[in-house]
Structure 1
Amino acid sequence: MYNVLGFRDPLESPRYRYSKYIDINLLSTKANGLAFDAMARHPLSPNRGGDCSLHITLSVNLQDRASIAARWFVVSHEMFHLYQYGYTLFKRAWVNEPLAKWAEYALRKRDMYPLEAPPEALPATTCEIDSLIANPVSREANRFWSRLVQLMDSSDAKIHLPPTLMQEEYVGGEKVFKDDTLRGVGFIAAVFQTLDAEDDAISHLNNWSAYAWHEKDQISRHHDGRILAAIGRVITRAGVTNPEVEAFLHAIKEFGKTNDCSLHNVGSR
């Protein structure tokens, strides 16, 4: 589904060029699902031998027939994390978690995370941006991305998937795809394509390996200024403008002035 929508398959990304499989394991875990950004070899797994794989872990409880149709969108959430990791080494929760939540709605009803009344405007100050970043899995973060999507995509949100996909059913007979809408596909893809180029610039600036940043560098808050600037460039290229968007773009510039966005010599090698 994500491939058809225009996202780059993680197995086709330069970062994961040595991986041949995506393995999904059902295990006894507290979390519904986990996606791992590192390639791994499991020679004792059937048909794997010395080949590298990407890994997702799902709670064994999801295989229960009574809950599978209600909760299997967890797979689309975790799978989208692999797509994110294939694009960029930035692993900031305020980006990855809300957008994996957004991706769930390819399999869920509605075209994006619901904007509760009254609609939440984009951050207009550096303090509001700080609040967003500090609460990455909050409704505030989800509504931030939904609001961006709403402003950037004025289409009917229809997605066009092959009939063979739209006809897929769970083991109980319920349709996998609840509708044919997902707003913001082009915008979200453009964001990750831009972040793909942005982390390359940081690797070059700091003489880091392009695909082997330390974990602390991947999750560093020092990236936020550059990430926001990249989002701003996507908005500007799209030509979307109104007072709310202009205030957000101004806040991004002010945020960049007060944060070390260069990352020069951040971390040690």
Structure 2
Amino acid sequence: MQMATAGDTVKKATRFHPWRGWVALLMLCVMVGKLTPVVAQPHPEAGECYYLQRDRPLKVLASEPNNTEGLESVRFFVETADQRALPDATRLDDLKMQLEAADVLYREVLGLTPPLLMPRYQRANFMMVMLRADQVRGGQAYDEVVRSPAVSDCHIRIALGGQVNAAENLTPAHELFHLYQNAHMMFKQGWVHEGLARWSESLLRGGAPVGRPLPTNAEALDVVMQDSYGAATFWQRLFYLLDPQGASLIPKALREMRYHDGSQVVAVSEYHGSAFLPLLFSSLNEAGATLAHQEQWPVYGWAEAEQHDLRHNRAILSAVHHAVSIYMPIAEQPDELRTFMQLIEPMVD
């Protein structure tokens, strides 16, 4: 979304007759100076709240308040006016349990800052979980703060198939992780955006392998960067090499959570890289801010194509190199990790 700036106004003002140009410019500068203190200006570190001209009819689902701190600002809606299409109480309870468990894992186990507390989402008042009654499964996470004729409060949202069976499907947790990613970084390259989100599912599913060896040459690295969900094995391997001992500290309340069919909500027994991930997210955040400054983009106003553009892989790899170097000095790195770091070192800015 593009908005007129003072610079645009200056250009228009200087189109007057030459002898009047300097006078008009001087008057404009005085006017801008007088208006600045009284015209509301968005905080430079906060994202915008965009108004959606159109939105499908939404019906709020009444729900009992939960005791999970991170999800206290979640509201559930359904895209239907047909009561018969609403998810049954059991599936809705299972869905809420998975989202609550995932949020605790992301906040307490991984140490990530919740989306609503990040600068990009300062204007969001809540997270919307939108159930699409005309879809059985699948999901989508949206990255902007929005409001609409149907929902007047600013919010961020994810959409899920209205009949999703959380006991058999980790799409809700996957899409919630995307909100965490979107709050921390602007990059949406598949190997980062979907690869990391698929990896996050292992925190609930458990049994994740340690992955294939890291790339040792440019061709192998390019294969990873051209991948999407399959890049989860790359991240799993990197996290394993940085944290070979792993951890198994899952809050007792999560270990005891059960879906209505009796299966565990959180089945993981060991995971790797939990202490490294916040550092990686921070490094990717800084890389995005630097790139936005260089390209003269709004910090959170990148064009969608730019967010996906593979030419930014260089900046991403530089951020990965930076995060790894801080987390584990080169002298402590195993040979496989050191070889990979040497491979991506030319990408470092």
Q: TM-score w.r.t. structure 2 length?
A: 0.64
Q: Is 1:114 the equivalent of 2:203? A: no
Q: CA deviation at 1:218?
A: 0.9
CA distance in structure 2 between the aligned counterparts of 1:94 and 1:31, rounded to whole angstroms: 23
- Residue type matched to 1:234 in 2? A
Partner of 1:143: 233
Provide the residue aligned with 1:193 in structure 2. 282
Q: Secondary structure at the match of 1:68?
A: coil
Q: Which residue of structure 2 lines up, in the alignment, with residue 75 of structure 1?
A: 172
* Alignment correspondent of 1:101: 198
Higher relative contact order (CA 8 A, sep 6+): 1
Aligned residue number for residue 267 of structure 1: none
Structure 2 counterpart of 1:208, which letter? W
Task: Indicate whether 1:37 and 2:143 are aligned.
Answer: yes
Query: Which residue of structure 1 lines up, in the alignment, with residue 342 of structure 2?
Result: 250
Q: Which runs of 5+ in 2 are unaligned?
A: 1-103
Where do 1:135-174 residues align within 5 Å?
135-138=227-230, 141-161=231-251, 163-174=252-263
Q: Check the 8 A contact 1:159/1:182 in 2, yes or no.
A: no
Distance 1:120 1:181, change over 3 A: closer
Deviation at 1:154, TM superposition (A): 2.1
SS of residue in 2 equivalent to 1:56: strand
What amino acid is aligned across from residue 163 of structure 2 in structure 1?
N
Decide whether aligned partners of structure 1 residues 31 and 229 sit closer, same or farther in structure 2, where only a CA change above 3 A counts: farther
In 1, the alpha carbon distance for the partners of 2:137 and 2:263 equals: 24
Q: Structure 1 pair 29/56, CA: closer, same or farther in 2 (3 Å)?
A: same
2:314 aligns with one of 203, 209, 225: 225
Distance 2:137 2:172 in 1: 12
Distance 1:54 1:9 in 2: 12
Name the larger-Rg structure: 2
> Once the two structures are superposed, what CA deviation does each residue of 1:58-117 show, in whole Å capped at 9, x if it has no partner?
11231xxxx43121x22111100000000011111101111111111221122xx324xx
Aligned pairs (5 A) from 1:46-85: 50-62=152-164, 67-71=165-169, 73-85=170-182
Which whole-Å CA distance do the structure 2 matches of 1:14 and 1:93 have between them?
A: 24
Which region of structure 1 is more displaced relative to structure 2, 194-203 or 171-180?
171-180
Aligned partner of residue 77 in structure 1, secondary structure? helix
TM-score, length-scaled by structure 1: 0.82
Match of 1:3 among 107, 127, 137: 107
Q: Which residue in the other structure is 2:220 paired with?
A: 128
SS of equivalent to 2:125: strand
Which blocks of at least 5 consecutive residues in structure 1 are unaligned?
262-269
Deviation at 1:180, TM superposition (A): 4.5
Paired letter, 2:203 = A
What amino acid does structure 2 have at the position aligned with 1:37?
D
Point out 4+ residue stretches in structure 1 off by more than 6 angstroms.
none
SS in 2 for 1:70: coil
RMSD across aligned positions (CA): 2.0
Over the matched positions of the two proteins, sequence identity in percent amounts to 29
Aligned 1:205-220 pairs, distance under 5 A: 205-220=294-309
- Distance in 1, matches of 2:146 and 2:250, equals 34
Report the CA distance between 1:29 and its aligned residue: 3.4
